[in-house]
Structure 1
Amino acid sequence: MTDTPNITIVFLLFPGITQLDFTAPAQALSRLPGARLAGAAASLEPIATDSGFAIVPTHDFATCPRADILCIPGGHGVTDALGDAATIDFIARQAAHAQWVTSVCTGAFLLGRAGLLAGKRATTHWGYTHLLPIVGAEHQSARVVEDGHIVTSGGVTSGLDFALTLIARLRGDAVAQAIQLAIEYDPAPPFVGGHPDCAPEAVTAGLKARVYDAAAARMEAALKA
């Protein structure tokens, strides 16, 4: 019987990360047979998330192992990370040898800044999809978009869908289904409305006005800087 090969899964960590962009796919991927997870940041200091608690990296950029799967989460901290040369260089170096290069939410723009989305179909959080052409990507409306070895996913909770999709590619549908069952991922939200396509128009307009119009403008400025 052949041993299951190890697979190294590297997550980029940065201040202002949306913790579920990281922790949701990490929870599923950690159950992948042979998985070894690493959380890499510029230093080993705790990383402040958007949820009021911190995450401690396992590696800094210099000591991080080579990724078989590279995952770039999103968050409002992406706008600052776009201007950090060490972060972008780390993404580019890891992506050069990775079997799969992935993102959750606005992490797509960090892939784009590293030159990895040019000519690719991609997705991101619905509040920012109109900015994908700035990094050379074509928006495809889906929770998970695969274009070659590049896999992007929509906002926040889409990271779990991406992780299960990738597990199925790597180890087969049965393994992915078993992991989905183990974590009891059986969504039955109390409201229909997790995307503008189905949310009440007033709810979408209010959220855009309170959060995403300004956030997208900051993202656009950072991308064009």
Structure 2
Amino acid sequence: MILRFGILCFPGVQQLDLTGPYEVFASARDAEVHLVWKDLAPIRSATGLVLQPDTRLADAPDFDVLCVPGGSGVNALMTDGEVLAFVRDKASKARFVTSVCTGSLVLGQAGLLSGRRATTHWNAHDFLPRLGAIPVRERVVRDGPIITAGGVTSGIDFGLAVIAELLGREEAETIQLSLEYAPAPPFGAGLPETASPAVLAQARARMAASRQERETLLA
């Protein structure tokens, strides 16, 4: 049986939010992964990498797993009626509805997180209650058919967790080993709680413009 994964691929997507789970999903047996957008023109990610959608929103099949990555481009999606309608429609037919990083804000804006436990990037965590979600500070959070992941790199952990749900732990571990996913970061600054005050301040400053835009959208 073919498993169909649909990942939203939009201008300003954080490429690792997309490519992390993509690599995991595409490595699974009998998997079919679609990068979905309004048209098939190449799009530029938030950090400049050019990505190629392969399926139009209008032509997309129903998916076993729908995934919405995050990135600065999420802000535009939150007021895009066509995209929000697409997410609601495909979510109603998917086995799992998922997000990575700030992609959860799109799920929330589409009304899919009401009363659900969810997570997102640490710099957007306080937005979740405004979208009806119950915020949880974990790397991967499942609440029924909704699976949300924290910031950026957590997309790999999330992808493996999804594969384990669909195909079992052995398949997920086989993919993990094939990818040599055994993280050992050289620094302990991966969370606000472990970063120095100076590093935290610099990170917040770099994300301030996008955060302010979200503040305005959700005011």
CA distance in 2, matches of 1:97, 1:195: 35
Shift of 1:219: 1.1
With the length of structure 2 as denominator, give the TM-score of the two structures: 0.97
1:105 pairs, out of 101, 107, 112, with: 101
C-alpha distance in 1 between matches for 2:151 and 2:162: 17
Q: What residue is the counterpart of 2:47 in the other structure?
A: 51
Say how many residue pairs are matched: 219
Give secondary structure in 2 for the equivalent of 1:75: coil
Gaps of 5+ in 1: none
Where does structure 1 differ by over 6 angstroms across 4 or more consecutive aligned residues?
A: none
Match of 1:144 in 2: 140
Cα distance in structure 1, aligned partners of 2:11 and 2:98? 19
> Aligned match of 2:149 in 142, 149, 153?
153
Q: Alpha-carbon deviation of 1:56?
A: 1.2
Coordinate RMSD, CA, aligned: 1.0
1:82–1:223 CA contact under 8 A, matched in 2: no
> Identity percentage over the alignment?
42
Counterpart CA distance in 2 for 1:53 and 1:189 is: 23
Q: For 1:116, which of 112, 115, 119 is the aligned residue?
A: 112
Match of residue 200 from structure 2: 204
Report the residue type matching 1:173 in the other structure: R
Which letter does structure 2 place at the counterpart of 1:220? Answer: E
SS at match of 1:128: helix
Show structure 2 runs of 5+ residues with no match: none
SS at match of 1:180: helix
1:51 CA displacement: 2.4
Q: Specify the alignment match of 2:23 in structure 1.
A: 27
- Aligned partner of 1:223 in structure 2 is 218
Please, which of 178, 181, 184 is the counterpart of residue 185 of structure 1? 181
SS at match of 1:188: coil
Alignment of 1:60-139 (within 5 A): 60-139=56-135
CA contact (8 A) 1:39 1:58 kept: yes
CA deviation vs aligned residue, 1:69-109 (integer Å, no higher than 9, x gap): 00000000111111111111111111010000000000001
Q: TM-score, normalised by structure 1?
A: 0.94
Query: Do 1:69 and 1:100's aligned partners in 2 also have CA atoms closer than 8 Å?
Result: yes
Tell me by how many angstroms 1:216 deviates.
1.9
